[in-house]
Structure 1
């Protein structure tokens, strides 16, 4: 199946080179002022939205109707979304696709658009505000199960679990550019947090980054690869190193440039690799990489000798019942439980809604209160694993105003921590470290919560495991 996909991609690319001049897809200049007809079509859509004939949904809400790995869904209702273009194929690193996110700054969600169009940047340029009328289009994945929700034109003939590109002629009735070209401000994220589903298909910036030492002097692409190359980048995060991948197409015009040897930052679109196994950062241009400074250095773990929290669940059994901790079911009947993991030969905590019969499962496991006023710098870490997480989710949250009572859990203020959490693509036999998460911006007594969300539905009944919950401090 993968071989067939590669052949199709290669043939499509060659065809685009040969026939670009023949494509009837409008004006190949970046539009500053839209034509009369295009303005009229956009205004007609906006009038329909204002009058309630078309519902303007958020990208986040649109993505909720589709479950990764399932069959594509045809949109049959009058709905539309608005987004801002964050990708560019000008330098050849994107092909017949572009990405939009819901806001120019601090986006909460983004989505891919699969379209049978070349020179996309001249029509849907970086920062362009775009409206998409969705009735008659499909929501799904171009690569089933990779987690990248996309808007497409139809179901693929060769795989009914995947969507095919929107044709140029069809796109004319669904995509409407406004005159607005917004300044896109990249969202600053840590490498440990790029796996967060909220960051997928958004434009981000990673600071204190550098390419791994073992690829120093190499180019963005491996000359032995036919299509894409993943290059490891690293960042310093307290006493640890965090890794991720920058993926570059062999057809990118910067493919053969040497990787920078210093440290700095890069801006990129968060996506998935071809196999769907890894979250990757995709550059619009080599100019989005600024690594002319010195590489960061990690702190020594020995400097964080004060242990504010250390729980490995070895002395627990049954439902988790640890002094000072809270094991609470907001919805459903499932609580966090202790179990023995045969793969790592130790005890851990797990939660899952498999065969629960519950329409909704929301379960919290909350640490005891941690006083951060007695130390100067703190780092939180833990390990996670998953046994078929499906579309259930695990969030790690922190609160500095919860009073410790179950009745006030949902009314307290909880902030999401930028943790690396195991996903379906990770080996279920191993635990994934969260990376070291800096808690120095918090003061007073805080509580950290592991919040599981699922249901008895087989698409949402996955299982998560946690272990080695530690806070090191100076």
Structure 2
């Protein structure tokens, strides 16, 4: 009698447990992020013109380009108009190209810092293009879009790294290039700040 009662209890308990379980379709499992690209500038040579493999370092206006810098063993890309003696400096650091048709849900993050930044006209922008062909000789034939992103402001402390926030690139198809564009001046002291860029990651 006790065995029969115990068996009945276990069957009922088992059925109750099963009916209380949530089906796999009702649960969105946490998705592991897959990294497509990382750039930490670990191979930098301090104080030289940046020539990191895959990147294009381009002076659009003036002659100043991004440089490779290292501080306490950490490498990063840096740009400043200071010392250029040129009224306008516009420089681009253009990434390698990425095939956006191979995966979905692409996101980009990076960190940036400043020193001596006093004006919003001394800007750092994140740009993207899907019709740039990777040849800097054809740069003027390509279209670039500035994307909303968090960058350092004068209220940030010098060399305080700011997180860009997650930049959604998932709507783009074909080959995408992203770039960091800096505007400054070597003759206007309000526009000769330093920008540093590091810890770039593209993932989905």
Q: What is the TM-score with the length of structure 2 in the denominator?
A: 0.79
For the pair 1:417 / 2:147, whether they are aligned, the reply is yes
Partner Cα distance (2:84, 2:142) in 1: 27
Q: Tell me the residue number matched to 1:309.
A: 37
Runs (5+) with no aligned partner, structure 1: 1-298
Partner Cα distance (1:377, 1:383) in 2: 20
Whether contact under 8 Å (1:382, 1:466) holds in the other structure is: yes
Q: CA deviation at 1:384?
A: 0.3
Q: Tell me the residue number matched to 1:386.
A: 114
Q: CA deviation at 1:303?
A: 2.1
Q: CA deviation at 1:333?
A: 1.7
For the pair 1:472 / 2:180, whether they are aligned, the reply is no
Partner Cα distance (2:116, 2:154) in 1: 6
Q: Tell me the residue number matched to 1:459.
A: 190
For the pair 1:448 / 2:198, whether they are aligned, the reply is no
1:133-282 equivalences in 2 (<5 Å)? none
Partner Cα distance (1:308, 1:320) in 2: 22
Partner Cα distance (1:393, 1:303) in 2: 34
Whether contact under 8 Å (1:365, 1:451) holds in the other structure is: yes
Whether contact under 8 Å (1:320, 1:338) holds in the other structure is: yes
For the pair 1:357 / 2:85, whether they are aligned, the reply is yes
Q: Tell me the residue number matched to 2:160.
A: 430
1:333-412 equivalences in 2 (<5 Å)? 333-342=63-72, 345-391=73-119, 392-412=122-142
Q: CA deviation at 1:341?
A: 3.0
Runs (5+) with no aligned partner, structure 2: 1-28
Q: Structure with the greater relative contact order (CA < 8 A, sep ≥ 6): 1 or 2?
A: 2
SS at 2:137's partner residue?
helix
Partner Cα distance (1:360, 1:448) in 2: 23
1:295-334 equivalences in 2 (<5 Å)? 300=30, 303-305=32-34, 307-317=35-45, 318-334=48-64
Partner Cα distance (1:448, 1:341) in 2: 25
Partner Cα distance (1:419, 1:309) in 2: 19
Q: Show CA shifts across 1:316-340 (max 9, x none).
A: 2221112221001011121101112
Evaluate the alpha carbon distance shift between residue 402 and residue 431 of structure 1 in structure 2; reply closer, same or farther with a 3 A threshold: same
Q: CA deviation at 1:408?
A: 2.2
Whether contact under 8 Å (1:380, 1:471) holds in the other structure is: yes
Partner Cα distance (2:149, 2:160) in 1: 17
SS at 2:150's partner residue?
coil
Q: What is the TM-score with the length of structure 1 in the denominator?
A: 0.35
Whether contact under 8 Å (2:115, 2:195) holds in the other structure is: yes
Q: Tell me the residue number matched to 1:9.
A: none
Q: Tell me the residue number matched to 1:265.
A: none
Whether contact under 8 Å (2:44, 2:70) holds in the other structure is: no
SS at 2:141's partner residue?
coil
Partner Cα distance (2:37, 2:49) in 1: 20
Q: CA deviation at 1:398?
A: 0.3
Whether contact under 8 Å (1:390, 1:461) holds in the other structure is: no
Q: CA deviation at 1:459?
A: 1.2
Q: CA deviation at 1:373?
A: 0.9
Q: Show CA shifts across 1:270-311 (max 9, x none).
A: xxxxxxxxxxxxxxxxxxxxxxxxxxxxx95x5222x22100
Highest Rg: 1 or 2? 2
**How many positions carry a matched residue from both structures?**
171
